[in-house]
Structure formats: structure tokens, C-alpha cells
Structure 1
Amino acid sequence: MKVASENISAMAPLKPLNRAVTGTTRLNQKASISTRSRSSLLTNAQIRPKRKADFSPVKENAKRTAMGDITNNKKNEDKKKTTLKQPVKKTIVQVKTLPSVRTVTKPKQNENVLPPLAPCINGVVTRATVKNVTSGQTAIKPKETLKEISNVSRIKTRLSNEFEKTEDSLYSSALEELNDSISSSGAKVKEAKTPPSDEKSPNLSVVSFVAQQLQNKLNLGNHEVPEGVPDFDKENWDDIHQVSHYAMDIFNYMKSRESLFDITDYMDRQVCLTSWMRSLLVDWMVEVQESFELNHETLYLGVKLVDFYLSRMTVGKETLQLVGAASMFIASKYDERIPPAINDFLYICDGAYTCRELVRMEINILKVCDFNLGIPISYRFLRRYARCAKITMPVLTLARFILEYSLMDYATVTVRDSKLASASLYLALKMKKISGWTTALEFYSGYKLEDFEEVVILLNDGLHKKPKSPLMTVRNKYSHKIFFEVAKIPLISNEELFV
């Protein structure tokens, strides 16, 4: 999916990455300048001696620095001190022999003997009435006691071995707490004690009855849908993967948490950074996400952590890439099933930082965000709105391109993620000439068109800007056929947005 980009000329005060191009493919050698020194430049005939990290990405061109040569530090190899070999002292260990101990074995008494059983009294079996068994004989339960035990109703039974669970005992442990909670609700005890009976699967009927009682008590899924709006949650009510019972409540809760993660205009306080440096960093983070094949949620959370950290801490330009790498490392641990190893992130930074530096930056970011990684991101809102309105995949992919391209625009940092998702979806619908902001989108998003008109214009202006060669990762990514080549769709003017 990566298409070759043009050579990047050095700019003051930032020296971005130089890229060598041959034809339509990028060379394995990138004329990247390590942040430690210029001595590690590669030529077409040279091969980097450093061993590639385990589980590193398949792409060989993923390793590069995001900012270029931004420090004058020397290689760590020149700073290594030779360690003196000290002679090893030989120690002689004398083997001590312990005196032999005589072990005495006693015969086990009452082996294989069970305590006697008493008849069933009030549904409880007591042990008393089995005949005494002499030593050396096994206790055999009479047929009468076996019949009495089998007739006892199974109340609050627990099985320690999960592999021996049967249809009768499958829900027994779960029903204990549910029945207790319903019985403690006062007036509803009588209704809860008489669940509907089912001869084939009595336990399943009890579970469905209890679930219905809890649903009525918690008032889940009782959302009034306007006329003409498809009830997406009701249509997928029986799908356990859709969590339709409380999906609306989840996203309403996420919208209420957006105020906790508002980001102000922080670039004026950053003495050593510029918005161009941030755009270069985000472009590099997109390339990391593509190289490791990470989830898009990981990318959005990583960018959000970068902005959240920069809005509260002052960072030098030599550590900006370290902030981006540590943020992606944290986000991959949070969202990925198998996150990349720490050596992989050190490798893609081209040896600019050590393992200790990356771990310390990871700790600093977690402390700044107070270990609260449940940040609402725009990508989750976009998927929810598009699915509820039954948007086709090409339109959703176009909205994803608009949203991901806006990550590099510093002007979108202060906008809330739910509004960014709504504006990108609306702009995609207008570019495809399908429809405007429908009543279904208005209901599920909670926004009217007037609430995010300025955001739509902001995103459209960002698409009309002339693309720069250092920031072509997102455009090249969505120019591929797997993404329906949405980056090549003709743009529209601001006058056509609200027609």
C-alpha cells in the first residue's frame, strides 16, 4: 500500500527525512539520518549490521526517524566502556553425607470407608444410617438411600469440575446470585418466585425469566426512536456481539466523558515545537500502524495520547519522536490482542532511543493521563453512526480517510471527537452525492447539522490544501484498491456542502 514519495528538502529549524526513490517502489535503503549521529548512513551497497528485532514488521522500509537529524549526540557504541575481565575464584564444596533415617510405614486405617448416611430429612441428607463397615471392606450404599438421594431437588449446586457440567447444572451457579437479588427487591418477590416452566429446558426458562426481570429493572434498551428511523438496536437484539441492550447507553456515556479529555491550544507553550513537526510525527505514526498492521483504534488513541501529553508538558524536539513511540506502545497494549514488543519500537526509531528511555517516557505519559486510557476517540463514534444509518462500505471508507487525514491537521486538536466523526461522515455523504444529515444520523449521533457546520468546513479546507511530499502516507494508503481508492475522489467546494 505504500507508494513512493518525493525527496524531502531540508528545512530549518527541522530537517525531515530524506527518501531515495527508484521508479515506483521505495528503496530498502532510506537516506535517513539517525538522531544519534550521521555515521550510520547507508548506501545502496551497504547493509546495516544491526540485527533486526524479533517479531519486527515485514516491511523493511518501516525503520526510519520521524524528525530526521535533530540532535548532535554521538553513537552509544562510542560511549561504551570496556569491562575488565576479573579472574573467577574457584571454590571447593565438600559433600556432606547425612545419616540414614529409618522410615516407619503405618497401615492406613478405615481406607475406602465412607461415613454412614442418614435418610433424607426436609430435603437434607445427613450421614448416619449406613451399617458399620469393618476395615478392609468398601462401603456400599443401599438402593433405598440411592433413591432418596436422587429424589432430592438440586438447590444451589456447584460443580468444581467445569468439564463435567451438564444441561441441568449449567446455570446453577449463576442463578444463585440472580435469585437472591430478585428476592431482595421487596414487592417483586411473588412475581419472581413463579417463573414459567418448560419441560424440555427448565433452567433455560428460569434464566430467560431472570434476565427479563433484570432488564425491566434496569430499563435497558428502552429508547424512543422517532418515526421513520430504523431501530438498529432492536434489529440486532438477539446478537450477543452487538450488545444492543445497552449500546446506546455506552456511546452516550462516551460522549459525556469527552469533557474530561479536552485539549487546548498548546503549541504556543511549546518553545521547541511547531505544528509542522507534529504533522510529521503523526505521518510517521500512521506508517507505524500500517507496518505493524495495528488496529485503527490504536492509531487514534496514540495520537490522542500525544496531544494530551503535549498539552500538559513541555517537550524538546529531540524527544518528540520518543513521545510518539511511547504513545503507540501504550495504545497497542490497550487495544491490540498481541501488541508489538518493545524491541520493535526501538527498531523502527532507528536506534534513536534506548530501552530505558522508552520505558521512562511510557511511565511519564501514563502518569500525566492518570492511567486513564478509556479516552473517547472519533473512530469509534464514526463506526457507530455509519452502522446505525446503514452506510455502505465505500462511503464509510471515504469518511475514514477524511477523519484519518485530519489527524495531521493541528487545527482539529481542540474539536471533540464525536463532532469530528459526524462532520467526516457528512462530508463523505456530500462528496458521494448520496444524502445529507438524515434523521437517523441526527438521532444516533445526538447532533444537528448546525452543531458541526464549522467542523465540516475545516475538514473540507484541509482536503483542498496542496499535499506535501513528507505527508503522503495517508493519501497513499487510501489510494489503494483495498480502500476503494477513496483518496482519488473529486473534492467539492464549501458552497456545495450545505445545498
Structure 2
Amino acid sequence: MAPTKAMRPIIPVLPATRVTTRSKAQNNNALLKGKRKADASPSKQSAAKRSAFGDVTNAEKLKAFDNKSKQIQKPLLKKVMVQSKVLPSVKTIGKPKQNENVAPPPAPAHKVQTRQTTKVVHPLIPNQTAQKPKEVLKEITVNKVKTRLSNEFEKTDDSLYSSALEDIMGRKGSNASTESRDKMSITMVAHQMEANLNLGNHEVPQGVNDFDKENWDDVFQISHYAMDIFNYLKSREPTFLPDDYMERQPNLTRWMRSLLVDWMVEIQESFELNHETLYLGVKLVDLYLSKVTVNKDVLQLVGAAAMFIASKYDERIPPLVDDFLYICDGAYTRKELLRMEINLLKVVQFDLGIPLSYRFLRRYARAAKLTMPILTLARFILEYSLMDYATISISDSKMAAAALYLALQMKGVSGWTPTLEFYTGYKLEEIMETVITLNLNLHRKPKEALMTVRNKYSHKIFFEVAKTPLVNTEEFKA
């Protein structure tokens, strides 16, 4: 008889130390320095850190000097014999032109025929470069076919290559004049692309803070096309919305998924990964489970492979394969982890540019010029909702807007301002249902096995936002 879903959890609950690093003896004296980590999360040992470049250079070995010879000791290289060659343009003399039936001149005297004159050149000695008279060099240079480099501003009628602009004009008609082609330029094409994409032409309504205009000259804000980037991400959201897949997973439950997400948050804290890595990993798990039926013994392997892929996508120095095998407590082999990574990438069709709610949240908070405590509270609400299965079918942009509005209500700062409505693209009535879902999730009594997120945001580094008093749904105001 097959075991029921409620018999045992799929993920072995780690000991009291939770996810730890390899050096357990040094954890007692380790101090948190400059990292935003919760007290319950273990610190990362210095032994586990790696340099940015690793052992990829032998520069130190090449710096060793011999005191006697005063020369640099270089590694032995394979000696390669290179024979001297004569350039074809110099040695090949008297070669007949194409489509001309001209017999080669007899040795020892070779005749070089040009369009105007004929010069006699003495036979060449092997391994010796021929020397041409200046007159011959001048004549060959004059008769050379003129070609151009790939430069749009130096094109001629004898050009051997055609540019994209010429191809466009050729489609309109083969009898297009040279003057009409000269009118087309790269600058005009750039203006046409800007007009089609509507770059930098977003009209801000009256009473709305024009955040992009204020930072127009800041190259790090990319204000010229920031709005277009987030509009593009918002248009891609329907592609990455998983459906209600739990009914098609006979071996899984919602509680198992919540345990897995809590474990993934612990990985993010233990390895000091970016928050974007966590959100991408959870999204990859949901996308995979919505298309593939898995056993409960494989669910933790799916989470580890998802975090491994997300780390390589978002991190500058991602953890190693052995690190993920270690946190799985030896439950899986290297071959199994790599095979799951390949399968997961195939399921998502190698498309990892997934819109994440965390990125939308930062954009909305910066445009509205909110303080860090409010933004951190919204981050806590958003990250705590990752364990709620009821939110997987809600778009990420709407989740970010609802979490930010709920944080404003909990802090009693303001309501849904015109600035937030413009930059999020949502009206208050459009996000109210999602706000109620998030608020009900916060009101549920926290379970002891799912305390990682609460402990994380109860730290002073995160302004202890997890201890913020909750609000009732009736208290919401516009």
C-alpha cells in the first residue's frame, strides 16, 4: 500500500544548528561582520570563502629569478621550427589573370605583365625574398581593385559589401537613386527605433513624482529606458505563471512545499546569496513541479538544483557543487544533482530571464521615495509569502505592489498614492484581493518548522520588521 501524504515530510529536518558550514568548531567564536544575517542563521566561515579569480594564473611562478644568471625562469615551451616564407604578393610573379589563356613564361626569365607596361624580373633564389622595382609596385597599387572597410561613412559604388540600410533601400526598389540612399543614415535609423520603442517619452501625469527625470543624468539609474525595461518584464509575466499543480502531484502536499521553501531561505542565509537568487530558485521549483511529477524523496533535490542554477545566474561567485551536496546531508550524489540541473533547464527551456517580484518591489519603493524600514517590511511580507502556495498563480508585479501597500498600512504612513499607481500600473481595487491574501497569511499562527523568515527579519539589521503589529482588513484605507 502506498504511503499517504501525511505520513512523513519529504525533507529531513536538519538539527538545531540547521544548515551549517563545514567548520563547526569555529562557529562558536564567529562574529557577524557587515552581513545582514539573522541570529538563528549560521555564519559563513572564512575557510569556505574563495577568491574571485582562483588559481588561474602562474604569475607568481614566473617572477622567480635565478641569482646566478639574473634571468626569469620561464616554463619550458615546445620548440617549433618555422620555415621562412615569401609573401604570395611578392613571390608570385607573372600569374595569369582569370579567364585568360596565357601560357606561363619559360624560365629562367619571368615576365610580369601589367595593363600598361611589362617588366622583366630575374629568377628567384630559394629562401630569398624578391625585390620589386618601385615602378612595378606603383603600377600594381594603381590597378588594385578599391574596396572599403566596414564603415558606413566611406561607402562607394564599387563596394563589395552592402549594409543593412542598402538592403532596406533595395527592397523598396532596385532603381533607388544614390541620393535617396545617402539620406538614410545611422542617426535616422536610431531616431526611428527610439520613436517605435517610445524611449524616454513617457508622459508623467500631474501630481506624480517623475523619478526618472530627476535621475536622468545618472548613468547608474538608466533612467532613459528604465520604464521600458519594467514594462517589458511585466509583459513577460504570463509566460512564467505556474498553474495549480498540486492536484497533479500525488506524492506532494502544500506543507512539503512550505518546508522546502523554508529550507531554501536557509540556504540563502547560510551562503550569503542575493535575494534575487532565492526568488529565482523558488520560481524555478514551481515551474518544474507544474510540468513534471516528482516523488517526495526527489523534492529536496529539485530545490537544491534550482538554487544551484539561480546562484550561477545571479551570483558573482556561486557556491560549488560540493557545497550543495553537503547541505543535502549526502542524500544525493553529484551525478544526480547535475542530472536534475539539466532536466530543470530543459523544462524551463533555458529561459532564466524570469520577472521577479523582488525587482519590481525595489523599483516601486524607489520611485515613491520610501524609507528603508518600509521597504524592508514589504520585503518581509513578500518573502514570507513564498511559502504560501496560494500566491504562486499571482503575477510578480501585482505581488510587489500588494506587499508595498500592506507595508504602508502597517506603518500607517500613507495610502495608494498617484505616484505608486503610475509606476506600478495598478489601481487599488486591482490589488486589494492580493493584499487580503497576504494579510491573512501574516495572521496565521507561525509554525515552529517555518520560522526561518521570521527569525531573519526579527534581527536589528532588518529593523525588526517581523515584530511590526498587524492590521485588520477593515482598517485598510485608500
Q: Which moved more, 1:281-290 or 1:363-372?
A: 363-372
Measure, in 2, the Cα distance between the counterparts of 1:370 and 1:28.
Answer: 31
Relative distance call for 1:461 and 1:217 in structure 2 (3 A) is closer
| Conserved 8 A contact 2:19-2:270 | no
Change (3 A) 1:344 1:321: same
Structure 1 pair 156–227 and aligned structure 2 pair: CA distance change class (3 A): same
Q: 1:407 is matched with which residue: 375, 386, 395?
A: 386
- Output aligned runs, 1:191-206, within 5 Å: none
Q: Deviations over 1:362-389 (max 9, x none)?
A: 1221222222222211111111111121
> Which residue number in structure 1 is paired with residue 466 of structure 2?
487
Shift of the 416–156 alpha-carbon distance from structure 1 to 2, 3 Å rule, reads closer
Q: Does 1:265 align with 2:244?
A: yes
Which residue does 2:127 correspond to in 1?
106
Which of 422, 430, 435 aligns to 1:451? It is 430
Q: Output the CA distance in 2 between the equivalents of 1:183 and 1:235.
A: 40
The answer as to whether partners of 2:281 and 2:309 remain within 8 angstroms in 1 is yes
After TM superposition, the structure 1 = structure 2 runs for residues 223-242 of structure 1, keeping only pairs within 5 Å, are: 223-242=202-221
Structure 2 residue aligned with 1:352: 331
Offset, 1:488: 1.5
Equivalent of residue 14 in structure 1, options 9, 32, 44: 9
Equivalent residue number for residue 291 of structure 1:
270
Secondary structure of the residue aligned to 2:298 is helix
Alignment partners' CA distance in 1, 2:399 and 2:236: 15
CA shift for structure 1 position 246: 2.2
Partner residue of 2:231 out of 218, 240, 252: 252
Distance 1:455 1:326 in 2: 30
Distance 2:464 2:474 in 1: 25
- Structure 1 position 394 matched with structure 2 position 362: no
- Per-residue CA deviation, residues 409-457 of structure 1 (Å, 9 max, x unaligned), is 1111121111111100000111111111111111111110101111111
Separation (CA, whole Å) in 2 of partners of 1:258 and 1:373: 12
In structure 2, the CA distance between the partners of 1:210 and 1:368, relative to structure 1 (3 Å rule), is: closer
- Alpha-carbon contact 2:11-2:260 (below 8 Å) kept: no
| CA separation of 1:335 and 1:181: change in aligned 2, threshold 3 A | farther
1: distance between equivalents of 2:305 and 2:12?
Answer: 20
CA displacement at 1:290 relative to structure 2: 1.3
Instruction: Give the equivalent residue in structure 1 for 2:254.
Output: 275
CA distance in 1, matches of 2:382, 2:135: 71
Q: Unaligned regions of 5+ residues in structure 1, if any?
A: 1-10, 31-42, 45-56, 64-102, 119-125, 130-153, 159-175, 194-205
Which position in structure 2 is the counterpart of 1:98? none
Asked whether the 8 Å contact 2:279–2:358 carries over to 1, the reply is yes
User: Which one of 341, 363, 380 corresponds to residue 384 of structure 1?
Assistant: 363
Q: What is the aligned partner in structure 1 of residue 319 from structure 2? A: 340
CA distance in 2 between counterparts of 1:338 and 1:427 reads 35
Counting only pairs closer than 5 Å after superposition, residues 111-150 of structure 1 correspond to structure 2 as 116=137, 127=141
Deviates more, 1:234-243 or 1:342-351: 234-243
- Note if contact 1:302-1:328 (Cα within 8 Å) is conserved in structure 2: yes
**Change in 2 beyond 3 A, CA 1:364/1:482:** same
Where does residue 199 of structure 1 map in the other structure? none
The 8 Å contact of residues 326 and 362 in structure 1, kept in 2 or not, is answered as yes
In the alignment, which residue of structure 2 is the partner of 1:316? 295
1:59 alignment partner in structure 2: 44
Rounded to whole Å, the distance in 2 between the matches of 1:457 and 1:284 is 26
| Counterpart amino acid of residue 470 in structure 1 | A
Structure 2 equivalent of residue 469 of structure 1: 448
- Measured after TM superposition, the shift of residue 331 of structure 1 is 1.2
Letter aligned with residue 44 of structure 2:
K
The alignment covers a number of residue pairs equal to: 359
Are the equivalent residues in 1 in contact too, given 2:20–2:270 (CA < 8 A)?
no
Q: Give secondary structure in 1 for the equivalent of 2:199.
A: coil
Q: Secondary structure at the match of 1:318?
A: coil
TM-score by length of 2: 0.66
Aligned to 1:367: 346
Deviation at 1:498, TM superposition (A): 2.9
Deviates more, 1:428-437 or 1:214-223: 214-223
- Distance in 2 (alpha carbons) for counterparts of 1:300 and 1:28: 19
Determine the structure 1 residue equivalent to 2:280. Answer: 301
What is the DSSP-based 3-state SS (H/G/I as helix, E as strand, rest coil) of the residue aligned with 1:242?
coil
Alpha-carbon displacement from aligned partner over 1:102-144 (angstroms, at most 9, x marks no partner): x998344449x998569xxxxxxx9469xxxxxxxxxxxxxxx
Q: CA deviation at 1:58?
A: 5.8
The answer to whether the 8 A contact 1:283-1:474 is kept is yes
- Distance of aligned partners of 1:110 and 1:440 in 2 relative to their CA distance in 1, 3 Å threshold: same
Match of 1:429 in 2: 408
Q: Cα distance 1:490–1:363, how it changes in 2: closer, same or farther (>3 A)?
A: same
Deviation at 1:217? Answer: 6.0
Q: Secondary structure at the match of 2:453?
A: helix
Alignment RMSD (CA, Å): 3.8
Q: Structure 2 vs 1, CA of residues 177 and 247 (structure 1 numbering), >3 Å: closer, same or farther?
A: farther
Question: SS of the counterpart of 1:317?
Answer: coil
Alpha-carbon shift at residue 299 of structure 1 (Å) = 0.7
1:326 matched residue in structure 2: 305
Quick check: 1:20–1:29 contact (8 Å CA) kept in 2?
no
Deviation at 1:469, TM superposition (A): 1.5
Q: Alpha carbons of 1:447 and 1:322: their partners in 2 closer, same or farther (altered >3 Å)?
A: same
Calculate the TM-score normalised by the size of structure 1. 0.63
Given residue 216 of structure 2, which amino acid in structure 1 is its aligned partner? W
Could you tell me how far 1:262 is from its partner in structure 2?
2.0
